[in-house]
Amino acid sequence: MTLSRRGLFGAGAALGLAAAPLPTAAAPPLRVLNAGDYGARGDGRADDTAALQKALDHAFVEGGALLVIPPGTYRVTRTLRVEFAHGANLGRQSGIVGHGARLDSEIADGGNVLEILCRATVRFVLIDGLDILGRGREGHGLYVECDHKGTYFYNFCVRDVNVQNCGGDGCRLVGNVFEGQIVNAYFRGNKGNGATFAHGAEGILSALHVFGAVFGQNGENGAAMIRNCYDVAFHGCYFLLNAKFGLLAGNGCTLLSNCGFENNHAAAKDFAGGDCGVNLNTFGTLVGCTAYSVFHQTGLIRAFVASRLTMVGCTGSGGGTAAKAGLARLGGTRSADATLIGCSGAVQYSNGFEALEIGGPNGGVRFGAQWQSRNLPQLGDYRLWIDRGGKLRIKRGTPTDDDDGTPVGT
């Protein structure tokens, strides 16, 4: 269950962080290195792989440093790897600053372009301003993995990063990767997902926030949370023209706020073969999210609710061949709750599931009507419902069948 997994994560993180030494006031000044000093040319002609790798090896060592990659185009023919060895502890800022720098991938063996492998406790890593351009034969553009017991990669920031046309995902984060931010990033045209967030075999990804990122025209989903991962929040992000869903959240999503979903399911043949912008299971909260389509996207969200779904101020609509696009397609278990407040757009229900709708396009409040619904109107201890014959019934306590209670009126 969600809470037990989070509790397990909290206990493990507390033990690991308690063992991690805190930085002292006597720490030496942060080093700043320049990739040009290690032979990187950035002229678009020279193979800069070896020079960049040498610079990375010097930057990500005990004590840390910021590696500046000057503006330019850097040809890369094999994976650039940052590896934090077992037992290391890096507790101060380090990273890559590459505004105006492009890694032009010529990797042809499926290797990732830039990967960070963490076998230690590492925090405050910054990847800022880097542009990664693939050619479809490499793996992921940016890959971060921390998947061993007692190892943690946290308090990191990926900012102003642009990853396009890679053969795998634009970005993939796996394992004990937590308390980090992705800000103003652009993941476009990658063959896999724009970004993937995943628990590992031993590590649990948690408490990530994505701000103002764009996930567009990717060959699978815009973003995907897999392997039971759920604790990622998206704020002001845009998901458009992806081949499948804008967001795939198979085990739920902590929060979607002010996010937009436009014309996803670009790989579908037509509107009838399309689907919603978000595919969500178990639980989620959506605030101020919008969906619009003129092609194959059928609505904002398709969800099977096993716990709780809350939507506030969300809209779903369409035009052209997608004129019938709506807000949501909802199903769920009998014990699940769904509440829609101030939302607009058509809502379809399946398997007898019903949500509590407040202040929708027709105003008022829409309660559940079947005797089994969790959203029956309640007046003190009394429940109201409509039986199969169309009569309004009332009972003190929870009804046990459709004919329970007393008919109201004639």
Please tell me the distance from the alpha carbon of residue 55 to that of residue 31, in angstroms, as a whole number.
13
Residue 366: DSSP 8-state: E
H/E stretch holding 211: strand 206-211
Contact 231, 198 (CB under 8 A): no
CB 120 within 8 A of CB 91: no
Evaluate if pTM is beyond 0.95: no
| pLDDT one digit per residue (tens) for the chain, 410 residues | 343 434 444 444 444 444 455 554 556 678 899 999 999 999 999 999 999 999 999 998 766 899 999 999 999 999 999 998 776 666 678 999 999 999 999 999 999 999 999 999 999 999 999 999 999 999 999 999 999 888 999 999 999 999 999 999 999 999 999 999 999 999 999 999 999 999 999 999 999 999 999 999 999 999 999 999 999 999 999 999 999 999 999 999 999 999 999 999 999 999 999 999 999 999 999 999 999 999 999 999 999 999 999 999 999 999 999 999 999 999 999 889 999 999 999 999 998 898 999 976 666 677 777 777 777 777 787 777 788 888 888 888 888 888 888 888 76
H-type alpha helices, 72-215: none
Q: What DSSP assignment string belongs to 218-278?
A: -SS-SEEEETT---EEEES-EEES-SS-SEEETT-EEEEES-EEES--TTSSSGGG---SE
